[in-house]
Structure 1
């Protein structure tokens, strides 16, 4: 359904807009085309983003947003320790209502995946006195939302991509943009810092490299770490490129396991595990010949940077593949697909376990282009990788 002209006129008049996306970093990256649509349609507006602590890391990398507020909502799955233990029940929510009320927003857009409810966030916005509130909803929200789309989506083959879902939401009230790529920018300083850490870890910036990122927040979305090591060794042998491993501090055991599966325990590989902040990781991916990863934030960073990526894509959710990317998406078909589980309920993990390392290597070689005779591009750039213009 389309919003009446009067509703679109009200939205076009909004001057202080709150965008809400409270789940993971990758989910927020897939929402950036809709954020671009907000900025393009409302060029004079102040746009604030309410995000989880993880999502708030994007603050300096999405130039269409003027400010970011961090909030780990109790109705969204959070990492252990994210709760504010010093506050009593409901105190964090009451404090957020006060913050939003003092900001005097004219409008709020609540972005959710189809398995989430927007209504808790809608209530937060209603209590804060925000008059325009837009979201998807499965049930009639009555006065919780001023504008809404009936949510009939269920995880299934052929469903629309998450990025398109959010673009369709803002289009419902007449907000849209021509540019629909994911958006991420990193700074020159972050690229230079990455290069320093690369060399300090024993890497050679005069040689091309590929990135291996074996982690993912959910165990069900992780290809076995030793397979990443086997694929990395085979790809290094086939191309002469350096294997560079990345991941957060909590993913160091996976990196060690992957490198242990390489020849001589990964002696010739480079580990930047636990070393890179988000912009530095993006710089690393932008300069790589290819990135090998699970369905996790690096896959969406690669898509935003137009960098080639091979994704070991568990069949837990069908709508989160790399958006408009130079990508190869690998998995094994299983009847239990679309389970939405963080741990494989069947315990066999066949959707990933049955993908052999040689398939990953071949997919990477296909993306890298014919060898030999075609020079590989240089190692990581010193300047930010170009991204789609906003206007």
Structure 2
């Protein structure tokens, strides 16, 4: 532990999506507060956009790796170039954060080849010289922790502490520009609104379009609110279809807002209803109430310390993961509905005192 006290230039490797990086922010804060170090994050292009709003991060290196699902995976020659980039940074230590179903070894090898002297990660087998500090990974066979707790417990093994385990996200100054765009789209900002975020990165997480439409109609009728349907530009066809199905007081804004404006929209919203995807963790970071229509996949990514309701539904057998670790979780999981009923969502909305 004493030797880690001298680590003033630390690399954090979190190569997944935006939500994954947000869930690692309490652990990153613990590193920053304990060692008073510069923190560089190596992350994917899917997550890099959020890093300017995480105060504990001093520098970001973007790298899309072939062992994480992405449309922009790097080739082997780029991997070797990244080794050289990391060598030049002369890091004192590297921490590799992973989901329990991931193999840490490719990222560990990256840090090892970059001659980073201290390397910390969870691992299922003895990594010998590849890691200087490692924690045997008991998940999910012995227990399952929330991802935030998993990451905090990892860095605690080298002596870190923090009194603040909330997700870290500085709200950007983009609400005025967001309001202008929303006003131009006939959204009345004097009335409450609920965000629906239907887009998914994996088909197994999707909630049926017709159910979104039925839900939107009932929300407007039962709670006298507006419904704002968000998504990326590539999801505009879906959000437009849902908006047209709902009708009056529903608005499709997919592709309209920048990430900064989208964060502000979530911050100002009365409620977010989404599948288990990145905006859920933005809501947790902004302390916005959230309802998650949660495909029964990794169970440790529920909203962290914000008012929430998680409604699980079954992943069809044909779409279930081939990962043996996740197969174990699926086998041990409690039986859940094939699909979340709209009535169950409305009950959750009432529970959250909208």
Q: Give TM-score, length-normalised by structure 1.
A: 0.83
Aligned equivalents of 1:295, 1:270: Cα separation in 2 = 22
**TM-fit CA distance, 1:198:** 0.9
Partner of 1:118: 104
Indicate conservation of the 8 Å contact 2:315/2:338, yes or no: no
Asked whether 1:54 is paired with 2:39, we answer: no
SS in 2 for 1:173: coil
Aligned equivalents of 2:10, 2:28: Cα separation in 1 = 11
Q: Map Cα deviations across residues 297-329 of structure 1 (whole Å, 9 max, x no partner).
A: 111111111110111011112111111120011
Aligned equivalents of 2:50, 2:315: Cα separation in 1 = 34
Aligned equivalents of 2:145, 2:316: Cα separation in 1 = 20
**TM-fit CA distance, 1:254:** 2.2
Aligned equivalents of 2:141, 2:200: Cα separation in 1 = 20
Partner of 2:73: 83
Asked whether 1:163 is paired with 2:148, we answer: yes
Partner of 1:194: 178
Asked whether 1:214 is paired with 2:198, we answer: yes
Distance 1:155 1:363, change over 3 A: farther
- 1:245-264 pair list within 5 angstroms: 245-262=229-246
Q: Map Cα deviations across residues 316-346 of structure 1 (whole Å, 9 max, x no partner).
A: 121111111200111246897x94479xx99
- 1:315-326 pair list within 5 angstroms: 315-326=296-307
**TM-fit CA distance, 1:352:** 6.2
SS in 1 for 2:151: helix
**TM-fit CA distance, 1:37:** 0.8
Partner of 2:57: 65
Indicate conservation of the 8 Å contact 2:276/2:292, yes or no: yes
Asked whether 1:226 is paired with 2:216, we answer: no
SS in 2 for 1:30: helix
Aligned equivalents of 1:227, 1:334: Cα separation in 2 = 16
Q: Give TM-score, length-normalised by structure 2.
A: 0.92
Partner of 1:96: 82
- Compare the two structures and name the one with the higher helix fraction: 2
- 1:1-391 pair list within 5 angstroms: 8-43=1-36, 45-79=37-71, 82-84=72-74, 89-154=75-140, 159-188=144-173, 190-262=174-246, 266-332=247-313, 339-340=320-321, 353-369=338-354
Distance 1:335 1:51, change over 3 A: closer
Unaligned runs of 5+ in 1: 1-7, 370-391
Aligned equivalents of 1:155, 1:304: Cα separation in 2 = 29
Q: Map Cα deviations across residues 341-375 of structure 1 (whole Å, 9 max, x no partner).
A: 79xx99xxx95643111211221122134xxxxxx
SS in 1 for 2:295: coil
**TM-fit CA distance, 1:277:** 2.1
Aligned equivalents of 1:155, 1:242: Cα separation in 2 = 44
SS in 1 for 2:67: coil
Indicate conservation of the 8 Å contact 2:280/2:303, yes or no: yes
Aligned equivalents of 1:10, 1:352: Cα separation in 2 = 51
Aligned length: 345
SS in 2 for 1:18: strand
